[in-house]
Chain A
Amino acid sequence: MGRPVTSGAGNHPNQLLLILQITRALREGQISSTELCQRCLSLIRETKIFNAYITVTEQLAVKQAAEADKRLKRGKPLGPLDGIPVAVKDNFSTANIETTCASKILKGYIPPFNATVVQKLLDQGAVLMGKTNLDEFAMGSGNTDSIFGPVRNPWGYSRQFREKHLQSHDKEDSDWVISGGSSGGSAAAVASLTCFAALGSDTGGSTRNPAAHCGIVGFKCSYGLISRHGLIPLVNSMDVPGILTRCVDDASTVLGVLAGHDPKDSTTRQEPFEPFELPDEIDIRNLSIGIPKEYHAPGLSSEIVENWTKAADLFENAGARVLEVSLPHTPYSIVCYHVLCTAEVASNMARFDGLEYGHRSKAESSTETLYAATRHEGFNSVVRGRILAGNYFLLKQNYERYFVKAQQVRRLIANDFVKVFGSGVDVLLTPTTLSDALSYLDFIKEDNRTRCTQEDIVTQSANIAGLPAVTVPTALSQRGLPLSLQFIGRALHDKQLLTVAKWFEQQPPTLVGNNELSQPHLQ
């Protein structure tokens, strides 16, 4: 068990720094935002092979950093993120900056407005480094399906990994490790230190999965805490803007900036959100940690199981009550998610017709031909497949059999959590992924749908039930890649969840696999 970022010797001067520390350094004048920004920009250039960014907003970043420096000099920073480099997944609308969803259909689309979360970051003085890569329209779990090419996991280029693998893979680029997805770009951007925090989106695990594979913290808050306005939707009723950071405290800081009611998003919670700081002294003795037995999913690697068990022991030894619990409807979450997701996808994607914005086919012989050709050319086969399936489920003759059934199952899954939490459990401890990150060649042996089915199994229930969940890195695997665990909390008990996650993060490293979990020591 280790602090993901703070332990170990670094190659980069800013690698040890967390947002709270860098904020202090900025305010005390030990470093300027411009210097910070330049370091991040040069890191972006050095780590280009990861393909984490679709658009690097260099000029804008430099300008924002200079403005932040002026404010910092005057002693009047805008907030905790003033002058801090951040990155944003390319499915959040950014005014005057191309927003593609990694899809041909939105290539060249420049939104005229900022997503609420982007606006909030900018209002706090955050410095936007760029827009990060993703699976097309966030549909995927490997970040291997982007028109801009896949994202490579920084850990695949670490000393820890390379030392073990260069014997078997002599040629540098014959194979590499996936970042996880769909927010692979955001995860790789944070893991490679090109920014201090990144926005992802999380519909079935899209923030937590790549965060786990890239060895960083990935947080999906309770549904309704953070506005979705400007987030190009995958499944409206499950999408939550995700936060990827180097540590749990940073996730809490970013949550404080982003959360709150948004008049532009009717599904955000009405009551005001009070930003919180996590305590440093954490007492977990009265906590009850649930271990859901159904999360012993098929394909769970022995390393993950070992980690999971050790983590449970850690809590028990520290005085928490650890007990096995049951979420009996978990096995149905995949099929339920599949129906609800594809149905909403079919609906949400209907607007991409080439008339108002984005790609438009040359085939203009009739309106219908134009629509068909535009959409065929614009979407990849994964998106098209989900649109087809979703429309099938929504047909009048199928609606009751599929969509309504799936909604009922969704209720059952959510009720499972209600029952467990109602029985006195505070937080659930589960795996985030089945194993460490696969190599690209291994990953693509199965198609996108199969992979999502396998990978999302441990993460998607939290979306189905709207619960907060966070992944925290624990150790390196035998292969030298990050292993992580997930905590799932009660709805709107985000602070309690993050507090538990922080306690876990604070624990000294345990010997699981490779104990040297820090930054990927890039070669």
Chain B
Amino acid sequence: GERSCTDMISQMAFFSVTKFYDYRLDICYLSSVYCSNCIYRHHFTVKNCFSSSKSSWVGVVGLEVHAQICSNSKLFSGSLVQFSAPPNSLVSFLDASLPGTLPVLNKRCVEGAVMTGLALNCTINKRSLFDRKHYFYADLPAGYQITQQRCPVAVNGMLTYNLCTGKNRNQTTLKSVRIKQIQLEQDSGKSLHDDARFQTLIDLNRAGVGLIEIVMEPDMTCGEEAAAAVRELQLILQQLGTCRGNMAEGQLRVDANISVHQPGEPYGVRAEVKNINSARFLARAIDYEIQRQIEVLENGEIILNETRAFDYKSGRTIPMRDKEGKQDYRFMPEPNLPPLIIYDNKTLPSNVNHQQVVNIDQIREQMPELPSVKRTRLVEKYNILTEHSITLMSEDGLMEFFETVAENTLANPRKVISWIINEFLGFLKQNNLTVRQSPFKPLALSELLDLLEKGVVSSSAAKQVFTEMCKKEGKSASQIVKEKELGLLQDQAKLEQICQSIIENHPKEVSEIHKGNWKVLNKLIGQVQKATHRRAAPNLVKAILEKKLS
């Protein structure tokens, strides 16, 4: 009878194991080059118990980032790329490594890598090569991963990012990290270990999904820098659309190579920390590891070149199971893929189908505005602070939301930004919502800010209106103002009447004022506002009271 590949795979899924080694994210070593353009370094000073001298240690951090390419199909096969599909439902013959299958490169993945390379100021290699990296692991069915070890698609780039500094983190420093290379490679499948039954379940849906591996030089000195660099990278990838960048879902995976040394000395032995699934944990893992290494060295012990995992519960890094000596990946050129040739307008041959080749210049034209450019533009156009522009860029869709509000209101952009960051973002964070899940459209906020600007509502009433808008009843700001009678009370006669009654009911305060203590006037203003549910025009109230009491 007929046997589909999926049938075969579902049959193969069970087998027993006792030991698991996680080799699949192992990467080749970074070159150890001292970074001269690094201005800012964390200095850790630790007292040595055995000597009175103080040693000044510097952390050295390099990152290897694996970004899943946002493409419809896998890097070398036609299987769809989807998240949370039923196990082994997205597996082609190649993904299951059936003998005789051959890889066919996905153009979209190459374009994603080239665009990422351009965004990170890399040199795009016009000719790059694929290699096989061998290791045995149950979720790597071919026994090798196709990657680009010798001649990757892009090299020698630079990532510039903002580091928040200062007491309240309200200052920013521009920093940069060199990108050593960007390479295309296959993702592995997933192993699910059932320790109770000594079984491993294999899901090959992820096997063969395209990855961009971004190798950064060890130009960072602490967790905060690394986290800021990763956040900026995440933004860039999302902006380009080359990766969704969700760390928790494994679309962006970061390994950190960490060592410490004393300035002027060669770099120390590195440890690699894996399994970090958020920027916050990345910072914590790195800082912990740097401290740990300093303490080890201060105690006269040595650092092992090992792989460690970050345990987010304890906040510590712990050694992963030993790899039984060093793994030799036995790299070999991939014989089934010809060299990857990338063209530009100058080298594009006239006789090729333009649909079938990758053109650097064409990709450059299609590139969206990068986050750094956007931030500069925002600061210049709206006269807002750099810190605000960073905040606007840090939430998906927030900048667009802000711009739409600002373009459609009379209110000053700085007022708009304050509302966006304090009220709107605050509300979203509190309710764990994304910008897209906002209960109202940006134009609704524009309208509210207009009402405030025109003096139709007081700023405190505006906040009430905002709270109402968040209830997602689809009512416009003016509708809410009308229904809840939140409009500013400007009726002179009515206000005079209210003020009069307040004066009559507060003889004690009135006599205080008559004695010359005008500070008490604020208390009376407060009473008027209370009586009017904070709708009274404050300047009018003040004028009326002053007139009546003088």
Q: Which residues of A contact B (CB under 8 A)?
A: 92-93, 96, 101, 106, 109-113, 115, 228-233, 235-237, 263-267, 343-344, 346-347, 349-353, 355-357, 360, 364-368, 370-371, 391, 394-396, 399, 403
A231 touches which one: B100, B332, B338 (CB < 8 A)?
B100
| Bound Cα distance from A299 to B105, whole angstroms | 46
Query: What is the chain B residue whose CB lies nearest that of A229?
Result: B102
A266-B105, A391-B330 known; A233 and B142 CB under 8 Å?
no
B410-443, CB under 8 A of A: which get 1 and which 0? 0000000000000000000000000000000000
Query: Are B97 and A351 in contact (CB-based, < 8 A)?
Result: yes
Q: Which of B293-347 contact A (CB under 8 A)?
A: 328-332, 335-338
B122 → chain A closest CB, angstroms: 25
The residue in chain B whose Cβ has the minimal distance to the Cβ of A238 is B335
Please, which residues of chain B bring their CB within 8 A of the CB of A343? Answer: 332
Query: Is B220 part of the contact surface with A, judged by Cβ < 8 Å?
Result: no
Q: A230-B100, A350-B136, A366-B19 are in contact. List 15 more A-B contacts (CB 8 A).
A: A101-B99, A112-B5, A236-B336, A266-B102, A266-B104, A266-B105, A266-B336, A346-B134, A346-B330, A356-B9, A356-B98, A367-B18, A367-B138, A367-B200, A368-B136
Per-residue CB contact flags for chain B residues 486-514 toward chain A (1 = under 8 Å, else 0) read 00000000000000000000000000000
A344 to B134, CA, bound (A): 12
Partner of A347, one of B5, B19, B144: B144
**Smallest distance from the beta carbon of B321 to chain A beta carbons, Å?**
13
> A395 touching B330 by the CB < 8 A rule?
yes
Partner of B100, one of A233, A263, A371: A233
Bound: A396/B133 CA distance, A: 12
* Binary contact track B132-151/A, C-beta < 8 Å → 1, others 0: 10101010011110000000
Query: Chain B residue with minimal CB distance to A112?
Result: B5
CA distance A235 to B328 in the complex (A): 22
Q: How far is the CB of B334 from the nearest CB of chain A, in Å? A: 9
Interface residues on B, range: 35 or more
Instruction: Give complex CA distance A353, B15 in Å.
Output: 12
Complex partner residue of B337 from A92, A266, A368, CB under 8 angstroms? A266
Whole-angstrom distance between the Cβ of A263 and the nearest chain B Cβ: 7
User: Does B3 count as interface, using CB distance less than 8 angstroms?
Assistant: yes
Interface of B is mostly: loop
The CA-CA distance from A206 to B215 in the complex, in Å, is: 44
Question: Can you give 21 A-B contacts (C-beta < 8 A)?
Answer: A110-B3, A111-B99, A112-B5, A112-B93, A115-B100, A229-B100, A231-B100, A266-B337, A346-B134, A347-B134, A347-B144, A350-B134, A351-B99, A355-B15, A355-B138, A356-B12, A357-B98, A367-B19, A370-B15, A371-B136, A396-B331
Which 6 A/B pairs are nearest by Cβ-Cβ distance? A350-B143, A394-B330, A236-B335, A232-B99, A237-B335, A364-B16
**Please, how many angstroms separate the alpha-carbon atoms of A115 and B100 in the complex?**
8
Q: Quick check: A353 and B104 within 8 Å, CB to CB?
A: no
Quick check: A394 and B332 within 8 Å, CB to CB? Answer: yes
Known: A236-B336, A366-B19. A394 touches B99 (CB 8 A): no
Knowing A365-B16, A394-B331, A396-B328 are in contact, say whether A356-B96 is a contact too (CB < 8 A): yes
Give the shortest distance, in Å, between A454 (CB) and chain B (any CB): 26
B101 adjacent to chain A (CB < 8 Å):
yes
Chain B residues whose CB sits within 8 angstroms of the CB of A370 once the complex forms = 15-17
A232 to B104, CA, bound (A): 17
User: For chains A and B in complex, what number of residue pairs have CB atoms within 8 angstroms?
Assistant: 136
Cross-chain contact of B19 among A237, A360, A368 (Cβ < 8 A): A368
B residues near A368, Cβ cutoff 8 Å: 19, 136
| A346-B330, A395-B328 given; A266·B103 CB < 8 A | yes
Q: In the complex, what residues of A have CB within 8 A of residue B330's CB?
A: 346-347, 391, 394-396, 399
Q: How far is the CA of A264 from the CA of B99 in the complex (A)?
A: 14
The interface of chain B, by Cβ under 8 A from chain A, is 2-5, 8-9, 12, 15-20, 93, 96-105, 132, 134, 136, 138, 141-144, 200, 202, 328-332, 335-338
Most buried by B among A96, A265, A346, A350: A350
Measured CA separation A350–B336 after assembly (Å): 16
**Which of chain A's residues have a CB closer than 8 A to the CB of B331?**
394, 396, 399
Task: Name the one of B3, B20, B103 contacting A112, with C-beta atoms under 8 angstroms.
Answer: B3
Given the complex, which residues of A lie within 8 Å of B332, measured CB to CB? Answer: 343-344, 347, 394, 403
What are the residues of chain A within 8 A of B202 when measuring CB–CB?
355
A357/B338 in contact, CB under 8 A? no
In the complex, A190→B438 CA distance in Å? 74
A262 to B, closest residue via Cβ: B102
- A contact residues around B336 at 8 Å (CB): 236, 265-267
Cα-based distance from A115 to B93 in the complex (angstroms): 12
A347 to B99 CA separation, bound complex (whole angstroms): 12
User: Closest approach, in angstroms, between the C-beta of B138 and any C-beta of chain A?
Assistant: 6
By a CB distance below 8 angstroms, the chain A residues around B93 are 112-113
State whether B144 touches A350 (Cβ < 8 A).
Answer: yes
- The minimal Cβ–Cβ distance linking A367 to chain B, given in whole angstroms, is 4
- For B132, the chain A residues whose CB sits under 8 A away are 347
Whether B105 pairs with A366 at a CB distance below 8 angstroms is no
- Within the complex, the shortest CB–CB distance from B107 to chain A, in Å, comes to 12
Give the chain A neighbours of B19 by CB distance below 8 A. 366-368
Are B136 and A353 within 8 A (Cβ)?
Answer: yes
Q: Which residues of chain A come closer than 8 Å to B18, judged between CB atoms?
A: 365-367
Bound state CA distance, A233 and B132, in angstroms? 15
Chain B residues near A229: list those with CB within 8 A: 100-102
Query: Whole-angstrom distance from the CB of B97 to the nearest CB of chain A?
Result: 4
Are B142's CB and A351's CB within 8 A?
Answer: yes
Question: Looking across the interface, which residue of chain B has its beta carbon closest to that of A366?
Answer: B18
Contact between chains at A356 and B141 (CB < 8 Å): yes
Closest residue of chain B to A357, judged by CB? B8
Known contacts A266-B336, A391-B330, A232 near B100 by CB under 8 Å? yes
Q: Please tell me if the beta carbons of A350 and B142 are within 8 angstroms of each other in the complex.
A: yes
In angstroms, Cα B15 to Cα A368, docked, is 12
| CA–CA, A364 and B19, complex, Å | 12
| Smallest CB separation, B234 vs chain A (Å) | 33
- Shortest CB-to-CB span from A315 to chain B, Å, is 36
Instruction: Point out the residues of chain A lying under 8 angstroms from B105, CB to CB.
Output: 266
B103 to chain A minimum Cβ distance, whole angstroms, is 7
Q: Which B residues are CB-close (under 8 A) to A109?
A: 99
Residues on B with beta carbons closer than 8 Å to the beta carbon of A346: 134, 330
B289 to chain A, nearest CB (A): 27
Docked-complex contact A111 and B98, CB < 8 angstroms: yes
A111 in complex: contacting residue of B100, B103, B134, B138, CB < 8 Å: B100
Residue from B20, B100, B142, B336 with most neighbouring chain A CB atoms (10 Å):
B100
CB distance from A299 to the nearest CB of B (A): 31
Return chain A residues, CB-CB under 8 Å to B104: 263-264, 266
Residues of A within 8 A of B138 (CB): 355, 367
